[in-house]
Amino acid sequence: MKGQLPNALAVFRARRAYHSLRTSLAASRKENLKKTTLAVIPERTKNSILAQFYLHGKKFFSQL
Structurally, the chain folds into a number of domains equal to: 1
Domain of residue 16 covers 5-63
The pLDDT tens digits for 1-41 are 677 999 999 999 999 999 999 988 888 988 998 888 778 88
Cα distance between residue 11 and residue 31, in whole Å: 29
Cα distance between residue 27 and residue 54, in whole Å: 46
Q: Quote the pLDDT of residue 1.
A: 66
Q: What does pTM read for this prediction?
A: 0.42
Cα distance between residue 60 and residue 11, in whole Å: 50
